[in-house]
Amino acid sequence: MKSFRLELDPSGRDSPWWVTVLAVVLAFALVAAFIALTGKDPGAVYAKMLGGAFATPFGITETLVKAIPLMLCGLGVSLAYRIQIWNIGAEGQFIAGAIAATAVTIYLPGLPGWVALPVMLVAGMAAGGLWGLFTALPKVFFNVNELIISLMLNYVALLGLDFVVFGPWRDPKGMNFPGTPPFTDAQTLPLFGDSRLHFGLILALVAVVLAAVFVQKTRWGYELRLIGANPEAARHAGINLKGHIVLVMLLSGGLAGIAGMAEVSGVAHRLMYGISPGYGYTAIIVAWIARLNPFGIVVSAVLFGGLIVGGYSVQTLGLPSSISSLLQGAVLFFLIAGSILGKVRVRWN
Amino acid sequence: MDETLSVELRGLVKQFGPVLANDHVDFQVRKGEIHALLGENGAGKSTVMCMLSGVYRPTAGEILLHGKPAKIHSPKDAVKLGVGMVFQNFRLVSTLTAAENIVLGEARPVWRTRGWMVRKTAEIEALALRFGLGFPAGRAVWQLSVGEQQRLEIVKTLYRGADIIILDEPTSVLTPGEADQLFATLVQLKNEGKTVILTTHKLKEVMAVADRISVMRKGKMLATLDRSATDEREVARLMVGQDRQEPKARKTRKNGAVLLEVNDLVVTGDHGRHALDGFHMTVREGEIVGIAGVAGNGQKELAEVLAGLRTWKAGTIVFRENAWKGASVRHSIEAGISHVPENRMKSGLAGSLGSIDNLLVKSYRTPARSKLGFLRTARNRLWSQGLVEQFEVKTAHIDAPVHQMSGGNQQKLLFAREIHQRPHLMVAVHPTQGLDVGATDGVHNLLINLRDEGKSVLLISEDLDELLLLSDRIVVLFGGRVMGEVTHEKADREHLGMWMAGVV
């Protein structure tokens, strides 16, 4: 009788690109089955989603508005993943950035626009970076698992947000709405025309280009590449692994912090309860779909932004918008399964 | 003694890619004896044992157990047939207790009550006691000493009903006292009628405990001897071989200036013991110094100290008249020490990156390769292409991941990188391990060329043929100390073999 066994391929090569495509296709197929179970036509639902996200000028700008934080957070986590630091704390780093940027509006209310916005940006970036540092330092000094710390810090940031918006920073004129007073014009990012699309898009694209240049062209980027490919070989080249972990987590958190600043200053125009619908988590999928490539992140961020917006538009068909969460989860599931199964070889005995 | 055979191997062959690990091995073990399988590292002992215990499958040949042909497809089959193996690196779950480790993998019962576990623990303790293998069965494995863990592994095989017990390099992890205790246990096992096979490269142990000795070298089984009818000298000679190659014409620079001087070096190894303990040596310009010795006697740590990867506890290192203050990889690179590490894919190359990135590893900080923090991409590509051609590295494409190359080409790439640094000293650790004959010659020529240019090489190898062929001087390491030192002209295989085995 022919039997087979499964073996792990020790060479650790990357799974081919079509595994990513297959993962996305399978995710849509799986969710289609769920939609069919509700009695709706999956084709019609997907067409509605696509239309809602990409067919109208309003849909497109909304998609881009959602893509901005995904791009920045995705870029941030991708830097950490390059050196095999599993930062899943972009959500907390995003919130920390949003809180710090808002703090500028609360404590320095009178600043003119050309001062207020840069100060808010720096504050948001610094707070996100600090949040990243909280993950990096225990990792470097005590070898504490970064997955656990970065995840737990998300809840710390979230509770911090709840504290300020329900407590000291709550708008006295807001009729008990858990949010700060609205930002002044000097504290809000410029908009494109009369859409909701804001200047954060430029920030995100600049960050993407800078990251691409640094990662591909500089000595620092080379060191990241070497650490990511083989940390032991990097150690033999005299590269300081711990220093790199600290710096990368500062940048990773800083980028998510910028996203938080852009969200309060460009979209919400105030800090409020539930400021992030999970951008920091979705960004993890965005980074992996793009295989950590900075320009790929632009594409996958727009796709996932479209998924969120499309999720809203299917509500008119009587489906909940959480259909997009379902899709996100399915995509991640198949991606991870693909990257693990891609390492397994079937051996026929 | 019983003359019936417990184990018989007939014409066993094992091939790993291009490497022939076992070449028609015939091997017989009698029932109820302690049989030692002796050979240098890489001689193929472990491969034989792994086939016997179902970890590997033979490419060709036959295994007979108790006179009957046995089909061993997996470790499970081996256990069913009464073969138990104690690996060099223990297969234990450190957070579980000793008894839990033993019952691990047992199919029944599904529900394990506290009472069941208590009964099992008592049963295991009784079994251990019968063979004089005391250890606290209720204690977590991480709290046990290495010797106790090994006893646990032996009891595990007994519990599963093994009557043929294989121990792979059992003493390599033990202190001398623990080793004596192990030997007492092995004799006890023999008296209970078990058959014991152990692999080792330590002569003294073999002479102390084995009934019969089989010697392997370079994948071949050379001879099986009765301990009572042989002596250390004969076994050592067999182990290291006698065929002596004609040395090539050499251009040694007599009395070159002192390049490296190491004195009273003490280095702590990964296991916390002193890996180097009062080591000393001198390397002069334009010579190849061979470091001989069986693995685990401090060679790895010596190479790591010189490469700046490991700190030392005491002693002095003077390189080109500069006394070193501390370990720093960058300092070592800049001082002109290149390092060909033992495992090229583990620590030398980044397998998923292309040739350019791998060639840049040691030199990307230099002005020729980068400027103001930016890599000189176009120039580096040309430079890499030049090196790949010069060193005849065969690669599908210069950007193709290097794990796609053959071992020989990977090593050429590594040498291209390390030689391009124009090192004063090259530390090469097992540089020809796993390479075929042609690639080995290529590496040898590179080392000889370095020497002829007036550079120095520290060649760490277990292959005596290689050391005798290339070295101007050979230093033998044993237990972290210099066991002996001899010049090329006076080198004599027999003495080297004795030194390597720790016999003065």
Predicted-complex ipTM score: 0.85
Cβ contact, residue pair B370, A349, below 8 Å: no
Distance from CA of A7 to the nearest CA of B (A): 13
Cα A82 from Cα A216, distance rounded (Å):
12
Contact B350 A233 (CB under 8 A): yes
Per this entry, what is the length of chain A?
349
From B328, B350, B377, residue closest to A226, measured CB to CB: B350
- Across the interface, whether the CB atoms of A236 and B73 are under 8 A apart is answered no
Strand partners for B226: B212
Mutate to test the interface with B, among A218, A219, A292, A343 (most CBs of B within 10 A): A219
Question: How many Å lie between the alpha carbon of B339 and the closest alpha carbon of chain A?
Answer: 9
Assess whether B235 and B269 both reside in one domain.
no
C-alpha dihedral (A287, A290, A292, A293), degrees to nearest 10? -140
| Cβ contacts of B333 on chain A, cutoff 8 Å | 237-238
Cα–Cα dist B486/B499, whole Å: 11
Please answer yes or no on whether B329 and A11 come within 8 Å at the CB atom.
no
Q: Per the CB < 8 Å rule, is B348 touching A11?
A: no
Q: Does residue B236 lie within any of the structural domains? A: yes
Q: Report yes or no: B391 and B343 within 8 Å, Cβ to Cβ.
A: no
User: Residue A318, exposed/middle/buried by CB under 10 A (0-12, 13-18, 19+)?
Assistant: exposed
CB contact under 8 A, A229 and B307: no
Residues B305, B430, single domain; the answer is yes
Structural domain includes residue B450: no
Report the distance separating Cα B464 and Cα A66, nearest Å: 67
Question: Cβ contact (<8 Å) for B347 and A232?
Answer: yes
Residue B250 lies in a domain: no
Q: Do A238 and B73 touch (CB under 8 A)?
A: no
Note the pLDDT of residue A64. Answer: 96
CA distance B54 to B48: 10
Among the partner-chain residues A11, A12, A225, the one whose CB lies closest to the CB of B357 is A225
Whether B451 is in a domain gets the answer no
Helix (H) or strand (E) holding A91: helix A90-107
* Most B-contacting residue of A15, A236, A239 (CB-CB within 10 A), to test interface: A236
Clarify whether residues B323 and B470 are in a common domain.
Answer: yes
SS3 A57: helix
Q: β-strand B68-69 against B322-323: which pairing, if any? A: unpaired
Residue of B nearest to A13 (CA): B352
| H/E segment holding residue B265 | strand B258-268
Which residues of B are less than 8 Å from A229 in CB distance?
A: 350-353, 357
Residues B386 and B497 in one domain: no
**Nearest-CA distance B365 → chain A (Å):** 7
| B353/A229 touch (CB, cutoff 8 Å), yes or no | yes
Q: How many interface pairs between A and B have CB atoms less than 8 angstroms apart?
A: 74
**What pLDDT was estimated at residue A316?**
86
Q: What is the per-residue pLDDT for B244?
A: 42
Interface of B to A at Cβ within 8 Å reads 73, 307-309, 328-330, 332-333, 339, 341, 346-353, 357, 360-362, 364-365, 370, 373-375, 377, 401, 403
Residue A100 has pLDDT above 60, yes or no: yes
Does A235 sit within 8 Å of B347, measured CB to CB? Answer: yes
> Cα distance from A2 to chain B (closest Cα, Å)?
13
Domain with B68 in it: 5-240
Residue B444 within a domain: no
d(CA A279, CA A330): 16
Torsion-angle region of B53 (φ positive above 0: left; ψ -120 to 50: alpha; else: beta): alpha
Residue B13: which H helix or E strand, with range? strand B5-16
Contact list in A for residue B73 (CB cut-off 8 A) is 349
Residue A213 to chain B, least CA–CA distance (Å): 10
Q: Is the same domain home to B97 and B180?
A: yes
- Name which of B309, B352, B373 is nearest A236 (Cβ-Cβ): B309
Q: What is the pLDDT of residue B246?
A: 46
For residues B160 and B299, membership in a common domain is answered with: no
CB-CB: which of B307, B349, B374 is closest to A217?
A: B374
Which among A12, A13, A236 has CB closest to B348? Answer: A236
Task: Show which residues on chain A lie within 8 Å of chain B, measured between beta carbons.
Answer: 11-14, 217-220, 222, 225-226, 229-230, 232-238, 349
All residues of chain A having their beta carbon less than 8 Å from the beta carbon of residue B348 are 233, 236
How far apart are the CA of A139 and the nearest CA of chain B, in angstroms?
A: 21
Q: Which of A13, A14, A222 sits opposite B357 (nearest CB)?
A: A222
Q: Identify which of A217, A225, A237 has the shortest CB distance to residue B362.
A: A237
**Closest by CA position to A229, among listed B406, B398, B349:** B349
Give domain status of residue B454, yes or no: no
- Residue B285 belongs to domain with CATH number: 3.40.50.300
Residues B30 and B92 in one domain: yes
Same domain membership, residue B153 and residue B289: no
Q: How near does any CA of chain B get to the CA of A45, in Å? A: 41
pLDDT of residue B343: 85
Measure CA B352 to chain center: 26
- Partner-chain contact B341 A236, CB within 8 Å: yes
A237/B329 touch (CB, cutoff 8 Å), yes or no: yes
Binary contact (A11, B360; C-beta < 8 A): no
Residues B262 and B231 in one domain: no
Q: Which residues of chain B have pLDDT under 50?
A: 1, 243-247
Q: Which of B375, B403, B417, B421 to mutate to test the interface with A (most CBs of A within 10 A)?
A: B375
Is B247 contained in some domain?
Answer: no
Q: Is A186 exposed, middle or buried (0-12, 13-18, 19+ CB in 10 A)?
A: middle
Do B28 and B143 reside in the same domain of the chain? yes
Contact between A129 and A71 under an 8 Å Cβ cutoff? The reply is no
Residues from chain A that touch B352, judged by Cβ atoms under 8 A, are 12-14, 229-230
Q: Which residue of B has its CA nearest to A229?
A: B350
User: For B403, which of A13, A220, A349 is closest by C-beta distance?
Assistant: A13
CA distance A88 to chain B (A): 25
Q: Are residues B319 and B380 in the same domain?
A: no
With CB atoms and an 8 Å threshold, state whether B357 touches A230.
no
**What integer pLDDT is reported at residue B253 of this predicted model?**
57
User: Is B136 contained in some domain?
Assistant: yes
Which of B353, B402, B417 is best to mutate for the A interface (most A CBs within 10 A)? B353
pLDDT tens per residue, range A120-139 = 999 999 999 999 999 999 99
Report the run of H or E that residue B12 belongs to, with start and end. strand B5-16
Q: b/e string for B436-451 if b means 16 or more Cβ within 10 A? A: eeebbebbbebbbebb
Per-residue pLDDT tens digits for A24-83: 999 999 999 999 998 889 999 999 999 999 999 999 999 999 999 999 999 999 999 999
Does the beta-carbon distance from A225 to B401 stay under 8 Å?
Answer: no
Domain count, chain B: 3
Could you give phi then psi for residue A178, rounded to 5 degrees?
A: -75, 85
Phi/psi of residue B61, nearest 5 degrees: 110, 180
Residues B152 and B292 in one domain: no
* Averaged pLDDT, A224-231: 94
Contacts of A349 in chain B (CB under 8 A): 73
What is the predicted pLDDT for the residue at B245?
47
Domain boundary among B186, B216, B240: B240
Closest approach of B73 to chain A, Cα-based (Å): 9
The answer, as to whether pTM is greater than 0.80, is no
